[in-house]
Amino acid sequence: MENWTPDFYIIPRQISEDPDVQPLGEKLYGIIYWLTNLKDKTCTASNETLAKLIPQKRGQKVSEQSVNKQLLILEEKGYITRIFKDKSKRHRSEIVAHISFKINQSQIRQTEYLDTPNGAQNKNIYIKKEIYKERKKDEYAEIKKKLTDFFEGNWEPYEKTLTQIAIGWRRPLPELKKEVRKFANYWLEKNHKGVTRLEGVKGGYFEIGRRLTTWLGNAWGPKPKPKKEDYEPISGESLKQIFEKRINGNT
């Protein structure tokens, strides 16, 4: 397996110039395309195999989770299609690369979509990219609204969620809200060009839950191990009442 790697990668210009595709995603596409041009003409490699085929720098291994994230981005942008054996999409049978190194003289410079020889496939990618951009705009607007609500102290729509988080961290709700406000302020802060940190997130992926967990971990240290009673419903009591009991030690 160690020597079973490509001598070079073919990475299309569309992918290398796409700001949403990270360097890891570029290499991943190159490996997928390389595999589809071997004897079997298909890429049936698992995430584990793909991770092993990606060159490692300074001994840092590429995780299967990182591979899966890049596959999602490549597929959403229309560069690949993952084919699964089952409806649950747990067992993948093949990955199809949509941009091929193929010159057809009759199609050269005849597409209005992308300046490459493969007009038909680029039209499909162009349409998918436009859909992707619109969806990202909607997601960004929703995330920005939540962060703005946090910063301005509009807690009412998120009271239940914040209470659950406070219980999990064994912290008073006002203390949590204070940290959440700092978190929102950090991501909404603009640089000298007027671009917020949120807008500058590479790849366009921003999960508030995960990033907030990381933020709280940096502020408070490791999250306490959950207790069974934290997740047991108590009849007739609101989450606020349950929270107050937990904070006061009356479990």
Contact between residue 24 and residue 74 where contact means Cβ atoms under 8 Å apart: no
Q: Which domain holds residue 170?
A: 135-247
Residue with the two structure tokens 């589809």: 36
Residue-wise pLDDT for 208-243, tens only, equals 888 999 999 999 999 888 766 555 554 455 555 656
Continuous segment of H or E residues that includes residue 15: helix 13-16
Per the domain annotation, does 125 fall within a domain? Answer: no
> How many structural domains are present in the chain?
2
Question: Is 26 among the domain residues?
Answer: yes
Per the listing, tokens 């950090």 go with 186
pTM for the full predicted model: 0.47
Assigned domain for 108 exists: no
| Contact status, residue 70 vs residue 80, Cβ threshold 8 Å | no
pLDDT, residue 102, reads 55
194: which residues sit within 8 A by CB, 6+ positions away? none
CATH number of the structural domain spanning residue 5:
1.10.10
Query: Which of 85, 91, 98 has its CA nearest to residue 36?
Result: 98
Q: Are residues 78 and 142 in the same domain?
A: no
Same domain, 242 and 171: yes
**Residue 88: inside a domain, yes or no?**
yes
The residues, any chain, with a CB within 8 Å of residue 5's CB and separated by 6 or more, are 53, 55
The 10s digit of each residue's pLDDT in 150-183 is 999 999 999 989 998 998 898 999 999 999 999 9
